[in-house]
A = this chain, B = another copy of it.
Amino acid sequence: MMVFVNGQFLPENQAVISVFDRGFLYGDGLFETIRVFNGKPFRWTQHLERFQHGADFLKISVPYSPQALRDSALQLIAQNNLPDSLLRLTLSRGVGTRGYSPKNADCPTLVMSLHPSLPTKDGPAWRLITSSFRLPANEPLARFKNCNKLLQIMARAEADAAGADEALLLNSDGYVVEGASSNLFWIQDQTICTPALPSGILPGVTRAVVLELCQKLGLPTREANITLEALHKTDGLFLSLSSLGVVPAQTLDDRPLPASNLFPPIRDLYRTTLGQDTT
C-alpha cells in the first residue's frame, strides 16, 4: 500500500511522522473519511468544504489546493488499484514548540491513505447500544472531524463489549444525538427525523446526502431532539456514515426496533447516487 505523506508517495512502512507531531501529542488536527466508488471520491466537494472549515477553525493552513489534493487522491487510488475503497485525509499542525500553544507550529502534516472498503452487499441490520459517555451540546469543535475521538472510541468499545455494531451517544442535554461513527435518523409520522447540528453532532456529509434524497423522494424531513425513551417508540431508525452509506438498526439496547418501509427507497436511491456523483 502506498501512502501520501506531505507531497510524497511512500510505501506503508515508510509512512511515518515525528513523535513530536502535535497530531500525536495532542490530537491537534482534523480528518475526513471519503468513500471512493468507481475510482472517484464521493462528494469530494462537500468533504473538502467541511475539511477547510475545520482547518480555518483550528487555524491550520492546508498546504495544497483542493484541486491538487484531488489530483493526488486520484493518483493514490490508481497507484494502489483501489477504485472501491475509503480515503482518509488527515491534517495535523505538525511539529511546534512544547506545550499547548499552537504558535510557531507552521509546518502542517498532510497524509492521505486508502483502506479497502467494506463489502457493498448488505450486512444484517445493526444492533445498537447507548453509550455511557456523553457528548457536549453546542460544541464548536464538533462541526468538523477533529482528531479528538476518545469519546467515540470509548463508546465504540462499549458496543464491542456488548456484541453490538454501533453505540449511540446522548449529549449533555440528555438527547440521543448520534452514533460513535454515524449520524442518527428515525422515522416518525411518515417523516424522516434527525438531530439538528447545534445538538453537538458532526455535520455528516452522508447525513446531508440523506436529507437531499428524502427531498427527491418527496419524504418530509424534520430536525428534532429525541430522548432515549422516545426513540424506542418510533417507526424505525437508521444510521448514515460515509463508509457504508445508510444502515438500518434492528435493536437498541437489546429491544427490537420496527423496520420502516420508508427506509428501502432511501437506501436504493443512495446507491444510485453513489454511482452518479460528479462533484
Contact call A101/B157, Cβ cutoff below 8 A: yes
Question: CA of A147 to CA of B156 in the docked complex: distance in angstroms?
Answer: 18
A115 at the interface (CB under 8 A from B): yes
- Give which listed residue, B24, B152, B153, B155, contacts A17 with CB less than 8 A: B24
Contact call B103/A160, Cβ cutoff below 8 A: yes
- Segment touching B, from A92-100, A215-223, A269-277: A92-100
Question: CA of A92 to CA of B25 in the docked complex: distance in angstroms?
Answer: 9
Q: Which residues of B contact A23 (CB under 8 A)?
A: 24
Question: CA of A15 to CA of B24 in the docked complex: distance in angstroms?
Answer: 12
A163 to chain B, nearest CB (A): 12
Beyond A18-B15, A20-B113, A134-B136, whether A102 also contacts B25 by CB under 8 A is no
Output the nearest chain B residue to A4 by Cβ-Cβ distance.
Answer: B19
Beyond A134-B136, A154-B141, whether A180 also contacts B24 by CB under 8 A is no
Question: CA of A146 to CA of B102 in the docked complex: distance in angstroms?
Answer: 18
Residues of chain A at the chain B interface (Cβ within 8 Å): 3, 5, 12, 15-21, 23-29, 31, 58-59, 86, 88, 90, 92, 98-103, 111, 113, 115, 133-134, 136, 140-141, 146-157, 159-160, 172, 180-181
Q: Which residues of B contact A156 (CB under 8 A)?
A: 99-102
Contact call A26/B103, Cβ cutoff below 8 A: no
Question: CA of A24 to CA of B110 in the docked complex: distance in angstroms?
Answer: 12
